[in-house]
Structure 1
Amino acid sequence: MIERGRPRRIAARLGFGTLGRASIAAKLVLGYGLLGTISIVVVSAVFYTGTIGVLDDNLDGKIVMQSERLLGHAGMPGHGALVEEVRRQLTDGIDTDREIFQLIAADGVPLAGNLDVVPAGAARGAGAGASAEMITTAVRRAGHERPARLYLRPMADGCLLIVGRDLSEQQAVREVIWRALLAGAGVSLLLTVAGALLFRHGIEGRLGQIRRTAAQIEAGNLSHRIPVSGGDEFALLNRDINRMLDRIELLMEGIRHVSNAIAHDLRTPLSRIRGRLDDALRHEVTVARLSGAAHDAIDDIDDLIRLFERLLQIAEAESGMRARLFERLDLGRVVADIGEMYEAIAEDGGIALTVDAPASLFVDGDRNLLASAVASLLDNAIKYAGPGATIRMRAGLHHGQASIAIHDNGPGIPDEERDKVTQRFYRLDKSRHLPGNGLGLAIVSATATSHGGALALENGAPGLVARILLPLAQPEDKGG
């Protein structure tokens, strides 16, 4: 008896679940095995047809040619010459153990030949008007029954000439070929199944790495990555997933940092507002006291509103919602306008501001976003460079891209901090005594990214070079 649980274990080994559904790997194995089996059957059929089929056709051709040669001796009355030729063929020592000849008279009497018994099918080939016929049947010759291929050739006077060959050797060859084909098919099928299982194991191994990494990420370990080896499609997929995980980890870290920063930046002004209102209520209530507390609270609330507006500005830039508003801009004109607007502010702060903004530097973008980004960089340069500093603002080309560079000779940014200052709420002033909320460079970076560019911060030696890089506008199509 067959063990009941065995089919279930085999199905599980092949990858089928208890619900009858197969995994992708199991489906690939079954498909690969089916394709291999069909290929084996087709190849075997072609090989068999090309060997046994050709042998059968050649044998039939030889039998027909031999019968026609014999009929060339049939002109003598009584067929004496034909009888002599049949007897000569049977005694010439050439294929005598396989050749079959039999001449039967019109009345059914054998005239010559080596058949012990005339086969029953020969009666159909005799008689007037009968046609030649090729048959396969069993014959009795030399006391033994053998398979044979016979050509029944009726003659004009009613006689019947039978020419044929013993098929014993041919059947032996056929059996050898069949055994060879079956053995080859069995080996090929085993190799196909083994290859399919190895293929399945390889796929499951590579997919298992992805699944294990996903489980680690789900458990909160964002630092886990998929091992990458080789250069196949799985390796390319693993690299893409790892880059995505790097980005997710960076975003999650940014979210944690933003959450902490928002909590700090909101708690301070809200506490200040509450303290002032509470102080106004604790003391003698006068119009002047309440008015002063209200004005101070309004100022703090305005600061909070500006904070949220800047956060919304970053979100809007990162979402790409304003990409549909992009237009062809002359970047030099935008820089010149911002420089003109800040000339008085720089002069009041004792700062020398020079602007170099040649015309005809075209990009596709949002004028307001780019102007706000340039203004933020210029605000930072004025605030941190300090009185007596020199600031140069220039629009031009930089390595094949449009560039807006603002170079100041202030204290600059330390190398180890340069990659961090574009994070939201990140500030070099850890004590947060200086005005600001750490969103300026984050907005500039988001704006540059939304335009297909980037913000680059470089050592100005001395000072800092803040550079917005943007792709140049493509030439407009004049055709059509």
Structure 2
Amino acid sequence: MNLPAWVALRRGLFVPASSRAAPDVRDIGRDHWQTTTFRWFTAYAAIFSLAFMALLGVIEYSVTRAMMRETDSGLRWQLRYFDSRSDASLAGAIDARLRRPDRRDNFYGLFAPDGRWLAGDIRAMPTGLALGHYGQSHEHTRGQTFALDPGSVRSSLRAMGEIRPDGARLVVARTLSDVRHVHDELMRALIGGGLLCLTGSLCAGLVLSMRQIRRVAQIKRATRRIANGDLAMRLPVAGRDELDMLAHLVNRMLDEVERLMGEVKSACDGIAHDLRTPLTRLRLRLSHAADAMEQRGEAVLAGVLVGARGEADAVLGRFSALLRISEIGAIDRRRGFASVALADLVHELCELYAPLAEEKAIDMHASVAPVEPIHADRALLFEALSNLL
């Protein structure tokens, strides 16, 4: 007979999970956002998106720096060009440059030593502009960025300047519209690409987690059937990932459990069948002996033999119950199940054991609360409660 869980635990025996307190697993797999697959994929997506945005940031910085260097190189060539002009012809050379149709985005300014404007479309001397000296190679001169308004539109310009031999200040500048355009395009690509990668990765992670959830749900349904006694059921195997490796291990364990359960069932069935035959013969002999004693008028001895025959019937009932246990474990038989009134069963047990309790000087009382009838095997419940009592 199966022992109560607390008795089995005290004796160090195995107790099924259904007999111990366990968390409710009915909600497993309902929340796709808390699966390990989704969490790892989200972490990977975040890392990948940050790395992608960092890469675009480096590209943006490199491209804009390269364009700035190209702009500075053009400004240095213009300073070298104006160095080839005399101070008297410098204003005319600037005006000629401004009238050329291919001047593009270049701007110029010539200022007196006191800051007064002399020529060019830059009307005010940029504040803080570092000025070189006439005749230098300007190889290491770097431009500076200012917000100036040559003409009617205020724009961002890259500027260089030098002090002429007569003390005048020459300023050459070039617009950064191309650099700003490339910078803005790269920033849009950085932000949009990062968000697109993150969103796509999250969607892919959700899809993969839903696939894993479906597999977990299949495994859960299989384990429920196994827990209900269907030892022939096996966990589904779909590929070669971690879940499949675990399913293979569990299936091998179930194969071994089913084999051992089959051996135990065969042994129990063999013992029960082997003992039922001599017990049946013993009952028949006790019945014949009781009839013979009653015919001879020895009623007392006949009563004893009838009681012994009743004990033999009880033992035979126990063996029948043992056979039904193996059948119930294999979900092959439910014929012994019926509506059982637990209160009547307890009162019957107390009446059965009352003489034994009185013989041992034990006061036994039964206090039974009203309980709804249950669907169970009455003989097996009788055996279980008898063991406890």
2:189 aligned with 1:189: no
Q: CA deviation at 1:113?
A: 2.2
CA 1:14–1:233 in structure 2 vs 1: closer, same or farther (change >3 Å)? closer
1 CA distance for matches of 2:165 and 2:217?
82
User: What residue in structure 1 maps to residue 235 of structure 2?
Assistant: 226
Mapping of residues 124-203 of structure 1, within 5 Å: 125=131, 132=141, 134-154=143-163, 158-203=167-212
User: What residue in structure 2 maps to residue 116 of structure 1?
Assistant: 123
User: What residue in structure 2 maps to residue 214 of structure 1?
Assistant: 223
Task: Determine if contact 1:136/1:147 at 8 Å carries over to the other structure.
Answer: yes
Q: CA deviation at 1:55?
A: 3.6
2 CA distance for matches of 1:155 and 1:255?
110
Q: CA deviation at 1:170?
A: 3.2
CA 1:71–1:109 in structure 2 vs 1: closer, same or farther (change >3 Å)? farther
Dislocated runs of 4+, deviation >6 Å: 266-273
* Unpaired stretches in structure 2, ≥5 consecutive residues: 1-29, 135-139, 283-389
1 CA distance for matches of 2:54 and 2:95?
41
Helix, strand or coil at the partner of 2:154? strand
Mapping of residues 237-276 of structure 1, within 5 Å: 237-264=246-273
| CA deviation profile, 1:144-173 (whole Å, cap 9, x unmatched) | 111222234455665433222212343233
CA 1:45–1:104 in structure 2 vs 1: closer, same or farther (change >3 Å)? farther
- TM normalised by structure 1 equals 0.45
Same amino acid, percent of matched pairs: 26
| CA deviation profile, 1:437-462 (whole Å, cap 9, x unmatched) | xxxxxxxxxxxxxxxxxxxxxxxxxx
User: What residue in structure 2 maps to residue 35 of structure 1?
Assistant: 44
Helix, strand or coil at the partner of 1:164? strand
- TM normalised by structure 2 equals 0.54
User: What residue in structure 2 maps to residue 71 of structure 1?
Assistant: 80
* More contact order relative to length (CA 8 Å, sep ≥ 6): 2
1 CA distance for matches of 2:222 and 2:96?
88
Q: CA deviation at 1:254?
A: 1.4
Task: Determine if contact 2:117/2:123 at 8 Å carries over to the other structure.
Answer: no
Greater share of residues in helix: 2
| CA deviation profile, 1:309-350 (whole Å, cap 9, x unmatched) | xxxxxxxxxxxxxxxxxxxxxxxxxxxxxxxxxxxxxxxxxx
User: What residue in structure 1 maps to residue 317 of structure 2?
Assistant: none
User: What residue in structure 2 maps to residue 92 of structure 1?
Assistant: 100
2 CA distance for matches of 1:155 and 1:211?
88
Task: Determine if contact 1:70/1:85 at 8 Å carries over to the other structure.
Answer: no
CA 1:56–1:160 in structure 2 vs 1: closer, same or farther (change >3 Å)? farther
- Which range moves more in the overlay, 61-70 or 248-257? 61-70
Q: CA deviation at 1:194?
A: 0.6
Question: 1:101 corresponds to which letter in structure 2?
Answer: Y
Q: CA deviation at 1:192?
A: 0.9
2 CA distance for matches of 1:13 and 1:105?
76
Q: CA deviation at 1:222?
A: 1.3
Q: CA deviation at 1:193?
A: 1.0
Q: CA deviation at 1:217?
A: 1.2
Helix, strand or coil at the partner of 2:128? helix
CA 1:230–1:39 in structure 2 vs 1: closer, same or farther (change >3 Å)? closer
Q: CA deviation at 1:232?
A: 4.2
| CA deviation profile, 1:349-392 (whole Å, cap 9, x unmatched) | xxxxxxxxxxxxxxxxxxxxxxxxxxxxxxxxxxxxxxxxxxxx
1 CA distance for matches of 2:128 and 2:210?
60
Helix, strand or coil at the partner of 1:120? coil
Q: CA deviation at 1:139?
A: 0.4
1 CA distance for matches of 2:196 and 2:150?
41
2 CA distance for matches of 1:116 and 1:261?
115
Task: Determine if contact 1:105/1:159 at 8 Å carries over to the other structure.
Answer: yes
| CA deviation profile, 1:116-157 (whole Å, cap 9, x unmatched) | 3333333x64899xx955322210111111122223445566
> Which of 57, 60, 63 lines up with 2:69 in the alignment?
60
Task: Determine if contact 1:148/1:165 at 8 Å carries over to the other structure.
Answer: yes
Task: Determine if contact 2:149/2:155 at 8 Å carries over to the other structure.
Answer: yes
Helix, strand or coil at the partner of 1:80? coil
What count of residue pairs does the alignment treat as equivalent? 255
CA 1:66–1:205 in structure 2 vs 1: closer, same or farther (change >3 Å)? same
> Which of 100, 104, 111 lines up with 1:104 in the alignment?
111
Helix, strand or coil at the partner of 2:88? helix
* Unpaired stretches in structure 1, ≥5 consecutive residues: 1-11, 16-22, 274-480
Greater share of residues in strand: 1
| CA deviation profile, 1:404-435 (whole Å, cap 9, x unmatched) | xxxxxxxxxxxxxxxxxxxxxxxxxxxxxxxx
